[in-house]
Amino acid sequence: MSDTIRKKNKSGKKIAALVFIFFAIFCSIFFAAKGRINTSPANKTALAIVSPVQNLFSWVGDQVNFVIDTVSEIRHLYDQNHQLREEVVLLRAQNLAASELSAENQRLRALLGYKQVATQFDLVAASIIGREAATWSSVVVINRGTLDGVADNMVVVTELGLVGHVMEAGLNTSKVQLILDPRSSVGALIQRPESRVAGIVEGDINNPNQPQMVNIPKNADVQVEDMVVTSGFGGIYPKGIVVGKIAEIHNDEGGLLKHGIISTSVNFEKLEDVAVIVASREAPPEPLPPPPQTPGTESNPQETAQKLLEAQQVQQQAQQQVQQAQQQQLQQAQQIQQQAQVPQPEQNYPQNNSGGFSQ
């Protein structure tokens, strides 16, 4: 019992001391702020006693405020970092979409430029949406069909050259057989004016990325880097579409023919957008260049053409005048002839009583 009472007395004294200290601090701060107290030795002693405690509480308060501010700032930075990460993901997606649209825009611009140049063709733009797994490099699927005017055996091209032809047209999609397919055959010829050798371009099962031009006579004028274009034979492919260049030339086993390996102008590994030729017309011939003029006698072609036109007009007028004069002469001759054919009127003479004519 005595120990318990002693402990309670000590606790009461400590509480009383703490209350006194806080009260003294409060009074000192209050009266100092009001300026109504003069510092005495007793007050100095009290201040010296409570100053360490005051500094301790001030330091603890500062640390608590620092921790609170730090935690708040960390939370703010975390939210901001999370928001910035979401914005980065969104901007990356937008950048990727913008890059894809830019690439598609460039491809469509190239097709549009080809459409403006190839005025003999009516084109329908299409995109490749699939490839057959069994014949990856031979057949592709495009997003155009009969509802868009596409039909079987229509030719498929890009601005770079020949792609293939439609082998099966559906309502909204169509299958396109590439010229790399070993089953395809395209009538072609060497574009070089000195050569003009004809042959057939078909796919090579041993080299699926490069077709070959076959049925070339052994002594034919075919060289490496010769440009190969469609010949127009066969009724499917129009004449003059670029196929590629001769990369290699090899002799056949029989020794009478040779074939050329073609480096296609179209990159089939990166093929994405194509154009279908839904109508074809013969391209108009290019105007003939004017003949070379003898030095010293050069003339302006426009002035010469104008003079020639004026001379033709004068000649036409002269011919018209001659025709009019001939018509007038013919009319006059007809009038004279009509007058000559008119009969003369008969003369009536008086008769006498004897029934004869009187003198």
Q: What is the DSSP string of 265-286?
A: SS-GGG--EEEEEEEE-PPPPP
Please report the pLDDT score of residue 190 as a whole number. Answer: 93
208: its two tokens: 């699926």
pLDDT 10s digits, 64-75: 778 888 888 888
Please report the pLDDT score of residue 281 as a whole number. Answer: 77
Query: Which whole-number Å values give the CA distances from 29 to 19, 37, 45, 274, in the listed order?
Result: 15, 10, 15, 88
CA pair distance 74, 69, nearest whole angstrom: 8
Please report the pLDDT score of residue 349 as a whole number. Answer: 45
CA pair distance 241, 189, nearest whole angstrom: 10
CA pair distance 186, 165, nearest whole angstrom: 10
CA pair distance 214, 224, nearest whole angstrom: 15
CA pair distance 357, 335, nearest whole angstrom: 39
Q: What's the distance, CA 240 to chain centroid?
A: 23
Strand partners, 258: 216, 251
With tokens 């937008």, the residue in question is: 94
Beta carbons of 266 and 107 less than 8 angstroms apart: no
User: pLDDT under 70 in the chain at which residues?
Assistant: 1-51, 53-54, 56-57, 133-137, 282-302, 305, 322, 326, 333-334, 337, 340-359
Q: What's the distance, CA 233 to chain centroid?
A: 30
CA pair distance 13, 5, nearest whole angstrom: 12
- Is residue 249 helix, strand or coil? strand
